[in-house]
Structure 1
Amino acid sequence: MKLYKLLSFSFVLATLTSCTFTENITINDNGTGKFSVDMDGSALMAMAGDQIGSQMGADAKKDIDSSFTFKQLFEEKKDSIAKLSPEMQKEIKKLENFVVKTKMSSEKKEFLMTLSTDFKNVNEMQDILQTLSVLQKLEQGASTVSPFGSNFGDNNSKLSYSYDGKRFSRKAVLDTEKLAEKAKDSTADMSKMMFASSNYVVKYHFPKKIKKVSNPNALFSEDRKTITIQYPFTDYMENPDKLNFDVEFEK
């Protein structure tokens, strides 16, 4: 299946029904780690198989288990990228090493997509989700370049992570100018409706035991090295600062 067709389908899936988006971060002892966002759209496979079939054509009859890097996709779109501003090209280059993995089975009613990359330091991952929204610029009017749709990541905030071995912080700072622009956007209510029943989950694994988390809804793993917090997707899109929290580790 061509990369663009697969990405196009995932966008259709994400906007038709409730999905669960999970933001994963794993930090190793030396500070390196892995970042990923998972989308589970299996609910739609169970409810709307016929509609999916019409979108996918002959590919709907096949099980899909594929992976590719954004570097491959960018090679296909190199002419479009060359027309972008140097600043935007620099932003897009941040995504080159991301890997997109897709598993789809009509028979098993399964659709899973993962966007992942390794990092040398979690501080490198500033605004990485917002960069995804830049991908729509690759083709005029296209909203299908980003695996999770053009609005994903563009939630009117600047997201940063920090980790020094003693504390971890996830912090989104609201962009008031963008919020004002969004208030005038007639498509905002439509986006809210599309994702009203979706969830956004953060699941972070650390090399040390956690002493405390500032979010009272955090769930701990048995070894107290992993936390999981679930939010309504509307909070992620409309009130991203609600997803801010700090973690303190045991000495």
Structure 2
Amino acid sequence: MKEKLILNENGSGSFSYGFDLGGIFKLGFKSSDSTKKNKVIDTVFTFKEVFAKAKDSIAKLPELEREKIKMLENFKVSAKANEAKQQLRFDMEYNFSSIDSLKKVVSPLEVLESMPKIGPGKQLGSLSVPEKENKKTRFSYNYDGKVFEKVILLPEDAKVNKKKKEKEKNPDNDFSKKMDDILKECKYSIEYQFPKKIKTVSLKNAIISKDRKSFILEIPMKDFPDDEEKLGFKVVFEN
């Protein structure tokens, strides 16, 4: 899973999420219906196009779901799935004119949850995550030329006590063991590129490029923090 942002001098840029899930085939993943011929997906679409065709279905969803889906409208999506080639990839990109356009951007997990409900996304149901596991996280970005900041906003009901979450885990459950195997193979990557040289990044273990205009951080999913707010950060630029 990769999150990438490119910021230009005038405040415009691009924001993207990439999900490369081809590795799950190595863990024995197969389509739910073995009697059907492997369906190959190779498509590019925008959520705006999907919404226009699915407006009746969207109108029947709860208000919070409609609000979440609306936030996806400006994203362009590329989806590829081919079980024979062990390929399962999903990329979405949003080109923005100003940093204000990124207020309350949806999280990657929320994107996965929404996809099976509408349009071509129904074919990508295997990418979805259970509703109860989704924190419904929002991202907010601030940039004034001197400092860039990413703030992660969690609703109150998402701030679950860590001990309670540990108690709910069942190490003897076959599904839990399978998920642990998958997480060992996965990583979350964050890459941000700026028009100015970076002085400091608040993220621990972030690697700043040689030209000091970008940084990258890779986190094994098994080490993904329980408190997602820890992935918020501040970048201070050189004068």
| Residue 103 (structure 2) pairs with residue 126 (structure 1) | yes
> Residue 79 of structure 2 is aligned with which of 83, 91, 102?
102
3-state DSSP class of the match of 1:58?
coil
3-state DSSP class of the match of 1:196?
helix
Segments of 5+ residues of structure 2 without an aligned counterpart are: none
Structure 1 residue 132 displacement after superposition:
3.2
Q: One-letter code of the match for 2:159?
A: L
Q: One-letter code of the match for 1:80?
A: S
Counterpart of 1:77 in structure 2 is 54
Structure 1 residue 52 displacement after superposition:
4.3
Counterpart of 1:249 in structure 2 is 237
**Where do residues 25-104 of structure 1 align in structure 2 (5 Å cutoff)?**
25-48=5-28, 51-52=30-31, 57-60=36-39, 62=40, 64-84=41-61, 88-104=65-81
Distance 1:146 1:118, change over 3 A: farther
> Residue 233 of structure 1 is aligned with which of 215, 221, 228?
221
| Residue 200 (structure 2) pairs with residue 212 (structure 1) | yes
Q: One-letter code of the match for 1:98?
A: F
Structure 1 residue 215 displacement after superposition:
1.8
Distance 1:97 1:176, change over 3 A: closer
| Residue 92 (structure 2) pairs with residue 115 (structure 1) | yes
Segments of 5+ residues of structure 1 without an aligned counterpart are: 1-20
1:167-212 Cα deviation digits (max 9, x unpaired): 111122443323349958x987678973633321111111111111
Question: Residue 202 of structure 1 contacts residue 229 of structure 1 at CA under 8 Å; is this kept in 2?
Answer: yes
| Residue 2 (structure 2) pairs with residue 22 (structure 1) | yes
3-state DSSP class of the match of 1:92?
helix
Deviates more, 1:127-136 or 1:25-34: 127-136
Distance 1:147 1:110, change over 3 A: closer
Distance 1:87 1:102, change over 3 A: closer
Structure 1 residue 111 displacement after superposition:
2.9
Q: Distance in 1 between matches of 2:31 and 2:49?
A: 26
3-state DSSP class of the match of 1:238?
coil
Q: Distance in 2 between matches of 1:213 and 1:93?
A: 32
Q: One-letter code of the match for 2:156?
A: T
Q: Distance in 2 between matches of 1:191 and 1:159?
A: 29
Distance 1:230 1:207, change over 3 A: same
Question: Residue 218 of structure 1 contacts residue 229 of structure 1 at CA under 8 Å; is this kept in 2?
Answer: yes
> Residue 196 of structure 1 is aligned with which of 174, 183, 189?
183
What TM-score do you get using the length of structure 2 for normalisation? 0.74
What TM-score do you get using the length of structure 1 for normalisation? 0.71
Question: Residue 88 of structure 1 contacts residue 134 of structure 1 at CA under 8 Å; is this kept in 2?
Answer: no
Question: Residue 192 of structure 1 contacts residue 234 of structure 1 at CA under 8 Å; is this kept in 2?
Answer: no
Question: Residue 76 of structure 2 contacts residue 94 of structure 2 at CA under 8 Å; is this kept in 1?
Answer: yes
Q: One-letter code of the match for 2:19?
A: M
Sequence identity of aligned pairs in percent? 31
3-state DSSP class of the match of 1:177?
helix
Distance 1:209 1:35, change over 3 A: same
| Residue 149 (structure 2) pairs with residue 161 (structure 1) | no
Structure 1 residue 58 displacement after superposition:
2.9
